[in-house]
Amino acid sequence: MSRDVNSNDFSRDYRGINRQYHRHVVRILIHRSKCSNSLPTCGIEVLNSHNKISDDFNKESHYQSRLGWRGHVGEFIAKELLDTGKHSITALTRKGSKSKILEGVRVAEIDYEDPSTIVEALMGHEALIITLGGAAPPDQQSKLIQAAAEADVHWILPNEWSPDTAHEALLKDVPIFAPKANAREEIERTGGKCSYISVVTGFWYEWSLAIPAAYGCDFTDRTFTFFDDGEIKTSMSTWPQVGRAVARLLSLPVSPERDGKGECLEALKNKVIYVCSFTISQKDMFASALRATGTQESDWQVKYEPAQERFAAGSEAMKTGDRLGFAKMLYSRIFFSDGVGNFEASKGTMNKMLNLPGEDIDEATRAAVKRADTDPWS
């Protein structure tokens, strides 16, 4: 667990993200230019609204990408992309939407009931990045993938942003993750028209910690429920870290340098990659909660519950539509002793390659405390 980043730097990641952006469903285009030759070079030309070429990139190259934005993480991705100064972004919204979009993002409308509008919007673009909320219609991602294939979009970052859905045991026990694996297969079935890069992030820390049924932390009642002994570690990310990861991933060259060396998108073709903010246990979370709230352990009621029993009870409650049961089932599974939640140990991460910073866990916990004071599910 890293705490080597100034907390003011972390706080800055949340500024400028107005809560009015939280409930939107939009798609965002990131314009970069397409190579003049048949094989992309490492140079990337970045177009802004005036079609000015970035001095940092090869002026002969062209690359364009598109981003899907839903709710929370999408706004942080958009902000980080804008902050690079290398991307011109167009948000695709539903027809008639009155959503307010981040300053600097252009807007275009699409109609999911008319796939041709999606195809038309995707024409001429090299990449599609999808972030959809859990309430999105189940066929929405498929419509985007099929439209991308028809529009000859080469790269897709599907709606991943989750624990390790490439882990067979997790997919077996938590079927709700199956569509993520299915999306990767659907992209491969495009016959080479599209390739994917799936970004596994773990659960979102500041979102999850604020929900008592998730990590067992109830800031309001000051109770903390440990699953088993509370020592199992799991990898997770903050929203700003996910935004940074995507922005830096998209800033990689498409192909290797001319000497064949260097990180590039082609090397990640049809792969699942892993990023995180930290890998911690519930005991680590509790210690951070005490520091963030200025409380002592004696101020809290501490409970223990077997992780597998919590998972079984949550699964049963979920059958009746119980939202809390769903959260208990979903989160307790990553704390099983099989280590499915600790992908940093089992798979390794791309943090170093993407130059992602360590983060102050206490600052992230303070963000969760603020969310807990409102509606943490929103």
Burial of 293 (0-12, 13-18, 19+ CB in 10 A): middle
Instruction: Give me the mean pLDDT over the 135-164 stretch.
Output: 92
More confident residue, 245 or 93: 245
Q: What is the pLDDT of residue 147?
A: 92
Tens-digit pLDDT profile for residues 79-107 = 898 888 877 676 777 777 777 788 887 77
Question: What pLDDT, in 10s, does the model give residues 273-332?
Answer: 999 999 999 999 999 999 999 999 999 999 999 999 999 999 999 999 898 999 999 999
Percentage of residues of the chain with pLDDT beyond 70: 80
Provide the pLDDT for residue 270: 98
Write b or e for each residue in 261-287: b if 16 or more Cβ atoms lie within 10 A of its Cβ, otherwise e.
eebbbbebeeebbbbbbbbbbbebbbb
> Average pLDDT, whole number, for the chain?
82
The pLDDT assigned to 10 comes to: 47
285 three-class SS: helix
| Residue 235 dihedral angles phi and psi, to the nearest 5° | -90, 140
Cα 199 to Cα 56: distance, rounded to the nearest angstrom: 26
pLDDT for the residue numbered 71: 53
191-201 pLDDT per residue, tens: 999 999 999 99
**Domains along the chain with CATH numbers:** 7-372 (3.40.50.720)
The answer to whether 206 touches 17, Cβ cutoff 8 Å, is: no
Q: 13 falls in which pLDDT band (50, 70, 90)?
A: low
Candidate ranges 113-122, 202-211, 246-255; pick with highest mean pLDDT = 202-211
Largest Cα–Cα distance in the chain?
67
Q: How confident is the model at residue 110 (pLDDT cuts 50, 70, 90)?
A: confident
- Residue range 117-143: mean pLDDT, rounded: 84
pLDDT of 77: 87
According to the model, what pLDDT value does residue 261 have? 72
- Look up tokens 């192909």; give the residue: 255
Look at residues 198, 87, 203 and name the one whose alpha carbon lies nearest to residue 145.
198
C-alpha dist (Å) from residue 194 to 41, 270, 314, 347:
18, 9, 38, 25
Percent of the chain with pLDDT over 90: 58
Where do runs of H (alpha helix) occur along the chain?
7-14, 71-83, 115-122, 140-150, 168-173, 178-188, 205-208, 212-215, 239-250, 282-293, 307-318, 323-332, 343-346, 361-372
What region, left, alpha or beta, does residue 181 occupy, with left being phi > 0 and alpha being psi -120 to 50 degrees?
alpha
